[in-house]
């Protein structure tokens, strides 16, 4: 089945069918005629032929740090919804938190058949800056603030500061911190900075040995809590940079025979589904992950439509979710 044959069966011009297949303007009446023929014949347009005709692939590359993350899954859902509604498909590239894989995928997408890239940034090295500043494919950075590319990011500093303030509303003031590497500018650096500013404003000086850095997994939170309570058994308030770390820490704390929140208060950030399932339910900060993904996709489509990157920056808000762990 060819475009010419579809045009003949639908009673429209070949150019009209071509516009329809490439998402150009076609009247509603002709759209119905063309789609009827496509449905009846089972015609599937050749993707490679479309690229050759239009020079456009209708594909967006999405580079993400790990695929088995609820927050990232929510952001991808937001991206997918917007792109699918606009006739684009996505190519997912999972780096497994490996910087070298990030660079491999960035180089692959700039040579491959994608019209744009959404990049879930975690670390920003000089090598990242050099590559991204001169990147030949339109790009939007998601989850990190960027001064040289359009970006959508969470208010990680503000969320951490507010949830730390809430932690200090309890009678517990022997505070410990469980976070991730500061090379991660959002979850590591910004959330740590927000926590420390809240402590400083409250007149509390947190010893460095009470501040633990670990990985992102449940077992990392559990192991970090064990290390924290070994160093400082008097700890009765724990700030965790993510919900996953907080729930891992809760497992260890309850294993010590301590009650939450009576003996130890604990908070996280993210408002994952697990916070509503664990007992007690975790006090946390809700971040608008799916909205962030959708905004990044809309921003990229705007850049593709205009041909200009205005270096737009969108900082998302947050909501404090008071539950049972404080």
**Residue 254: pLDDT band by 50, 70, 90 thresholds?**
very high
- 159-212 per-position pLDDT tens digit: 999 999 999 998 899 999 999 999 898 999 999 999 999 999 999 999 999 999
Token pair in block for residue 240: 């965790």
Q: Write down the mean pLDDT value for the chain.
A: 91
Q: Is the peptide bond before 276 cis (omega within 30 degrees of 0)?
A: no
- Output the pLDDT for position 51: 46
DSSP designation for 262: T
Instruction: Please list, in sequence order, all residues whose beta carbon lies within 8 angstroms of the beta carbon of residue 117, skipping any fewer than 6 positions away.
Output: 60, 61, 62, 63, 106, 109, 135, 137, 138, 139, 140
Residues making up the chain, counted from first to last: 326
Instruction: List Cα–Cα distances, 145 to 151, 154, 232, 304, in angstroms.
Output: 6, 8, 35, 21
CA 246 to chain centre: 19
- 67-103 per-position pLDDT tens digit: 888 999 999 999 999 999 998 999 999 998 888 899 9
For residues 54 and 96, which has the higher predicted lDDT (pLDDT)? 96
The least confident of 32-46, 114-128, 140-154, 193-207 is 32-46
Instruction: Please list, in sequence order, all residues whose beta carbon lies within 8 angstroms of the beta carbon of residue 322, skipping any fewer than 6 positions away.
Output: 166, 283
Phi and psi, residue 323, nearest 5°: -130, -145
Token pair in block for residue 236: 């009765």
313-316 vs 59-64, strand pairing mode: unpaired
Nearest to 156 by CA among 133, 124, 179: 179
Distance CA 105, CA 110 (A): 8
284-287 vs 116-120, strand pairing mode: unpaired
Distance CA 86, CA 223 (A): 45
């Amino acid at each position: 089945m060819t475009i010419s044959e579809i045009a003949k069966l639908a009673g429209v011009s070949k150019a009209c069918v071509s516009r329809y297949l490439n998402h150009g303007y076609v009247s509603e009446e002709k759209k119905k005629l063309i789609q009827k023929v496509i449905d009846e014949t089972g015609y599937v347009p050749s993707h490679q032929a479309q690229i050759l005709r239009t020079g456009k692939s209708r594909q967006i590359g999405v580079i993400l740090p790990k695929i088995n993350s609820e927050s990232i899954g929510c952001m991808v859902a937001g991206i997918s919804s917007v792109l699918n509604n606009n006739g684009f498909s996505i190519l997912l590239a999972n780096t497994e938190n490996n910087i070298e894989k990030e660079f491999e995928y960035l180089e692959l997408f700039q040579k491959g058949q994608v019209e744009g890239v959404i990049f879930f940034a975690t670390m920003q090295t000089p090598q990242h800056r050099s590559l991204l500043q001169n990147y030949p494919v339109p790009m939007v950075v998601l989850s990190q603030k960027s001064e040289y590319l359009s970006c959508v990011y969470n208010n990680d500093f503000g969320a951490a500061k507010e949830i730390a303030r809430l932690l200090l509303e309890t009678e517990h003031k022997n505070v410990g911190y469980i976070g991730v590497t500061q090379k991660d500018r959002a979850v590591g650096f910004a959330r740590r900075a927000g926590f420390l500013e809240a402590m400083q404003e409250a007149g509390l000086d947190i010893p460095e040995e009470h501040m633990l850095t670990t990985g992102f997994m449940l077992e990392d939170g559990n192991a970090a809590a064990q290390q924290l309570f070994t160093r400082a058994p008097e700890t009765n308030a724990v700030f965790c940079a993510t919900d996953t770390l907080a729930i891992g820490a809760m497992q260890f704390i309850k294993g010590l025979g301590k009650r939450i929140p009576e003996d130890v208060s604990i908070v996280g950030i993210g408002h994952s589904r697990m916070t509503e399932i664990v007992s007690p339910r975790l006090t946390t900060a809700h971040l608008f992950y799916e909205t962030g993904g959708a905004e990044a996709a809309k921003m990229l489509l705007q850049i593709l439509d205009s041909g200009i990157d205005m270096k737009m920056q969108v900082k998302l808000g947050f909501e404090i979710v008071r539950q049972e762990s404080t």
